[in-house]
Amino acid sequence: MHFAVIRLSSFGDIVLTEPVTRAIKARFPGARLYFIARTDYAQVPRLFEAVDEVVPYAKHGANPGIGNLAGSVEFEAVLDLQNNPRSRRVSAMLRSRRLSRYRRPVVRRFLSVKMPWLWRGELRHTIDLYGDALGRLGFGLEDRRPRISPPEDARAEARKRLGGGAGGPAPVALCPGGSSEYKRWPETSFAELALSLSASGRRVMLLGSEADRSVVEAVAAGSGTPEGLVMVSDEAADLAALLSLAPVTVTNDSGLMHLAAAVGSRVVAMFGPTSPSLGFAPLGPGHKVLTLGLACSPCSYHGNRPCRLARRICLEDLTPAEVEHAVHAIYSEAARA
């Protein structure tokens, strides 16, 4: 028996599909599960324990891997968790007994962002919408929270890079990057937070992808973070392993926010032009979501549009002291648990 999950992009959205893959394997332990993702994100589903094979999809050019599947495998079911023209073309190539697609809350999403005076409510979490697609196949999610266990060799290397535990306490991870400059907390605020956390006795690690390098290095320069605690990598396994060693992660609304939550780090997540009410808040116990809840937020769905105001009040007015308070609150709650 064969199943296929299609989620071509992006990083965080793919992380959120992990519970679906686990639910399929729990229901059909002997099934072979394929995951189709864009080539630049294919590393992410390779971290999922339930996925047997990842098939990369190239936006431009040939896709022999998908062609081979189309010619050799008949699927019990295909789940299209992207539901855009590209994913529809991929699903149309595959032979399957059943096909179920993710359904976006298009109208409510539009009202939330464009006409909040008509409707301002909570959209269902994206994971639950993925679960609806699974439910149309006759079963649902048993556990909504994404769970990722980094490979042990990656964890061993992460421990080595962090000093093997001998260099001090487990670090707080600061992830100042993100897919859009408009939804990133200011670099100066991250640097001030890093300095204050260090002064209070917390060990700080700066972490990001190669696309985040300039932002990470700017925060490192502004905070004096030691070079050995500045980590930049495009390897999803490396990022997952490093985040798994951080009890707390401070992050923008980004893919690393979801990865941190999935590996068990407790997240302090900052939302500005986007909003947790749009269905992308980190799932799991102990997370803190910080948003000023301004009347003009959310002003875009993906946070990729310039602010219409003179400055980004939604993020610039969120102070390092408030974020640090959330970090210490997580440690206090964990100590009492």
pLDDT for 264-291, tens place per residue? Answer: 999 999 999 999 999 999 998 899 999 9
Q: 236-244 and 255-262 are packed helices; what angle lies between their axes, rounded to 10 degrees?
A: 60
Q: pLDDT tens for residues 172-187? A: 999 999 999 999 999 9
Residue 132 clears pLDDT 70, i.e. is over it: yes
Q: Are residues 130 and 160 in the same domain?
A: no
* 22 within some domain: yes
Which residues sit opposite 79 in a β-bridge? Answer: 5, 100
Residue 143: inside a domain: no
Closest CA to 245 of 153, 155, 152: 155
Domain range holding 94? 2-135
User: Do 298 and 273 contact (CB within 8 A), yes or no?
Assistant: yes
| 32 pLDDT above the threshold of 90 | yes
Stated pTM of the model:
0.96
CATH number at residue 22: 3.40.50.2000
Query: What pLDDT is attached to residue 165?
Result: 46
Q: Report the alpha-carbon distance of residue 151 to residue 20 in Å, rounded.
A: 20
145, part of any domain: no
**Please, which residues have CB within 8 angstroms of residue 324's CB and are 6 or more apart in sequence?**
193, 196, 197, 200
Question: Mean per-residue pLDDT for 141-168?
Answer: 87
Residue 138 pLDDT:
94
Which residue, 311, 299, 273, is CA-closest to 182?
A: 273
Q: What is the DSSP letter of 97?
A: E
174 lies in the same domain as 322: yes
